[in-house]
Structure 1
């Protein structure tokens, strides 16, 4: 925003209006007095003794008349000057009153951003705040492992406060996307509120970043932190090999849609581990040579790589466990759904649906149940998708759900939310505000039927679209895992080598580990 040129000019101090009016009146009175004074003294007695009558007295009369006219010139000039000044001041005040609404000289008001500009600012603020929260949460795990929960309590409190602010900002943004409020001024104010909440989240984290660095003391030594990261790395390397076998088993036992949420996860985990290997080696070398600032930078990057590899491997293992649970739950869910369908058909008049709507939805629920029963005996299928279709069909009947159907809906929703969360976490440099906001709304909706599942599915679609359209200037670093590290937000892409690693903190401190 270009500053107003008025700000660079020295301001003249102006007297208040009543003072200027008083000065003008005083000038006019002085001029009037000067004019009237000769007239008041013209008839007075002469203190000098009178001269004898005669020709001398007669010749003095013309001289006196000439002197009195000359005495009037200066008072008249002073009075005219005072009147001119007063008139000039009046004209200036009138002109200023026509061109401004507030008294005094004030800087020009900044231009009001357009609705599109305000939306861009709000989107950018949401993404930045979410990235700060995610990066801070990741580093805090390593700090707690070394120093314990009690030592990191202030940082945990700051992180929770930032998460609360961010959740409120996402909720405001979702209402804005849905058209609430409708008034243009209120919508602008809502965007201001989104940006303000995000700024407060970042401020909470920034305020604790320096103290967390003092607790870690990486600039004094990284040996203990390196040992923690290396131990996690070795564990994940073994689990990644097992995850590859797990994905192969899922593809054999289930339909392709069952393993679709974790497609590519093992390959991405290996990519993060390649990146981590190089960073751990560099951190160890820098520590041995006494370059502790560089060692801390490389260590923090390695911790980010280990964290994201863990997210990917956890995702594979979690999905396999939930598919087993869903497969065991499908028969009971089918029985519960058929009972609900029969009850809705018998007591259809107690719902808000019309007769035609109820018949159509009953037919849809019957068809969904029959299709799932056919799949159970027809070969590999997707148990989570089977539960999804059953619970959604029954929910549309507006009948009370049995306990088994509520358990099935919650299982499906948690699986969907977790899968989307994993995808966003390891692609966060490319995922935009809309996908993140829907994911946050899905988390809030957990336990309320199938809404969380629907929202998480929308968030995943938006996130995948963002990744497909995202460019990556570090594509030539694939062999060392640099591309994935930048795409995952482990490195902040601020320097040619990928930039500093994301650290605990808000916008002002999260990129503090730049190379000197």
Structure 2
């Protein structure tokens, strides 16, 4: 049924309608002209009408009145034929009967396809991250056998998403080069993202049934009540850890330079914002359960759970950085010794194909780096992770030759620290982080799994830089709303930034089901 708004909208005439109207006007004008000149074919009423004899000879000339009727008839026939042609042309263009070939839809431009691929990657990444967060609560409540279908769906979605990011990174690097192959690459990205979302969508309803979030009264109250117990226990644990993390961060600032502590600057404050938001939402969920409003309770529960997870990521980030800095500081002296041994092997030409000049340049550069690190060790506070990064790069052997065990350990520690830092930042700022940073992070994870620690470290650091740039340009959403922690919840993707309702939590599922707990 057509909407009254649509019916009331004035329509702009198409070229076919204009031609039809012109034909109608011409035909009307001809008929009117014929009606006006018809009296010329007769004589005045007072004059006798001469009757021509059949045997009388024809006159050489023909009067104008004798030509009017044939002329009108000819023009009318031409007009009717033109009008019929226009009608047939218009019907042929708008025909919807079977057997006709519909017009082909316009082919999207490469820029349009790239925008679609970016949006698909970002949405699929959000769906996977949110699903993993909710599943962590489900695993605390139910045995592994009951959660296995959801774990399997999440792993399948992660595999599809990883493949999509890999295709996208090659596309950004210019591979493949042919235009048609590049179009197919973008189609592959979009298709794999869609499959990742489909796998999660297929299990969303079953997950709600398992949790009791979609049930009525007794089952629903039990399901939401049990989930609230788990969320509140984790909340209380994190509240205590946040206080400890504040002291840890203070100690790190006293012992290390700002560059070493920079990756977790502001984490404790952000964790407290998430915990304030979680407090409000979990309390509202408890009140909704008591009032029998189970749908509202499920919505508030999901928002509270998301905030608790991200508070854990932020607090854990401070704790993990402190542990890595301690480990790196203990590894620096051994790494220096290992690097000197590697340089000695390079100077002897062992396992390398470099020329004498190249060997000399590499040795001189490595000596300079190692001397600077030794000076930092005795000169005051320094960044142990950055020191290990410079040592391993300076002592890197050409052509992928194997290095000493201590240098491999140092390079692995540095790469893991960079990847974990980028992962933490993207996870708690995903409402603002764009596709490029996510793709670089996915590349860093792949390289780390493949054992290329240098490339993993470089990709992770670039991913973090781009993510921070995205957050700076994001601004403050919904500044007119003063709900506790709402801005941080939107920034973290706990609430869906694209939703018209700013109180819509993200849930386990793909694009079709992730917003099912809307008000």
Q: TM-score range by the shorter chain?
A: 0.7 to 0.9
Q: CA deviation at 1:449?
A: 3.1
**Aligned residue for 2:324?**
322
Q: Does 1:465 align with 2:469?
A: yes
Segment drifting more, 475-484 vs 370-379 = 475-484
Q: Contact 1:361 / 1:397 at 8 angstroms: preserved in 2?
A: no
**Aligned residue for 1:136?**
131
**Aligned residue for 1:363?**
364
**TM-score, length of structure 2 as denominator length:** 0.78
Q: Does 1:160 align with 2:164?
A: no
SS at match of 2:395: helix
**Aligned residue for 2:280?**
278
SS at match of 1:286: helix
Change (3 A) 1:507 1:479: closer
CA–CA separation in structure 2 for the residues paired with 1:442 and 1:433: 14
Structure 1 unaligned spans of 5+: 1-91, 97-102
**TM-score, length of structure 1 as denominator length:** 0.78
**Aligned residue for 2:116?**
121
Task: Give the 5 Å matches for 1:328-407.
Answer: 328-347=330-349, 350-395=351-396, 397-398=398-399, 399-407=401-409
CA–CA separation in structure 1 for the residues paired with 2:253 and 2:397: 32
Q: CA deviation at 1:397?
A: 4.4
Task: Give the 5 Å matches for 1:2-13.
Answer: none
Q: Contact 1:391 / 1:405 at 8 angstroms: preserved in 2?
A: yes
CA–CA separation in structure 2 for the residues paired with 1:479 and 1:352: 64
Q: Does 1:205 align with 2:203?
A: no
Q: Contact 1:436 / 1:459 at 8 angstroms: preserved in 2?
A: yes
Task: Give the 5 Å matches for 1:12-411.
Answer: 105-218=100-213, 219=215, 220-221=220-221, 222-347=224-349, 350-395=351-396, 397-398=398-399, 399-411=401-413
Q: CA deviation at 1:444?
A: 1.1
Q: Does 1:436 align with 2:438?
A: yes
Question: RMSD of aligned C-alpha atoms?
Answer: 1.7
Q: Contact 1:276 / 1:302 at 8 angstroms: preserved in 2?
A: yes
Q: Does 1:506 align with 2:510?
A: yes
Which one has the largest radius of gyration?
Answer: 1
CA–CA separation in structure 2 for the residues paired with 1:340 and 1:478: 59
CA–CA separation in structure 2 for the residues paired with 1:372 and 1:134: 39
**Aligned residue for 1:58?**
none
Q: Contact 1:494 / 1:500 at 8 angstroms: preserved in 2?
A: no
Q: Contact 1:428 / 1:489 at 8 angstroms: preserved in 2?
A: yes
Q: Contact 1:269 / 1:310 at 8 angstroms: preserved in 2?
A: yes
CA–CA separation in structure 1 for the residues paired with 2:409 and 2:349: 24
Q: CA deviation at 1:353?
A: 3.2
Q: Does 1:454 align with 2:458?
A: yes
Change (3 A) 1:499 1:216: same
Q: For each residue in 1:294-322, what CA deviation from the matched residue of structure 2 results, as whole angstroms up to 9, or x when unmatched?
A: 01100010000000000000000000001
Segment drifting more, 466-475 vs 420-429 = 466-475
Q: Contact 1:358 / 1:397 at 8 angstroms: preserved in 2?
A: no
SS at match of 1:377: helix
CA–CA separation in structure 2 for the residues paired with 1:478 and 1:250: 34
**Aligned residue for 1:13?**
none
SS at match of 1:499: coil
Segment drifting more, 361-370 vs 129-138 = 361-370
**Aligned residue for 1:11?**
none
CA–CA separation in structure 2 for the residues paired with 1:463 and 1:449: 21
Q: For each residue in 1:317-363, what CA deviation from the matched residue of structure 2 results, as whole angstroms up to 9, or x when unmatched?
A: 00000111001100000000000011101116x53434333322221
Q: CA deviation at 1:465?
A: 1.0
Q: For each residue in 1:140-181, what CA deviation from the matched residue of structure 2 results, as whole angstroms up to 9, or x when unmatched?
A: 011110112211000000000000000000000000011100
Q: CA deviation at 1:276?
A: 0.5
**Aligned residue for 1:492?**
496
Q: CA deviation at 1:496?
A: 5.5
Q: CA deviation at 1:390?
A: 0.5
CA–CA separation in structure 1 for the residues paired with 2:236 and 2:482: 22
CA–CA separation in structure 1 for the residues paired with 2:480 and 2:375: 49
Q: For each residue in 1:252-281, what CA deviation from the matched residue of structure 2 results, as whole angstroms up to 9, or x when unmatched?
A: 111211111101100100000110011011
SS at match of 1:150: helix
SS at match of 2:453: coil
Q: Contact 2:477 / 2:490 at 8 angstroms: preserved in 1?
A: no
Q: Contact 1:491 / 1:500 at 8 angstroms: preserved in 2?
A: yes
Q: Contact 1:344 / 1:397 at 8 angstroms: preserved in 2?
A: no
CA–CA separation in structure 2 for the residues paired with 1:471 and 1:252: 31
Q: CA deviation at 1:494?
A: 4.6
Displaced runs of 4 or more, over 4 A: 396-399, 476-479, 494-497
Q: CA deviation at 1:408?
A: 0.3
Question: Number of paired residues?
Answer: 414
Change (3 A) 1:495 1:118: closer
CA–CA separation in structure 2 for the residues paired with 1:313 and 1:455: 24
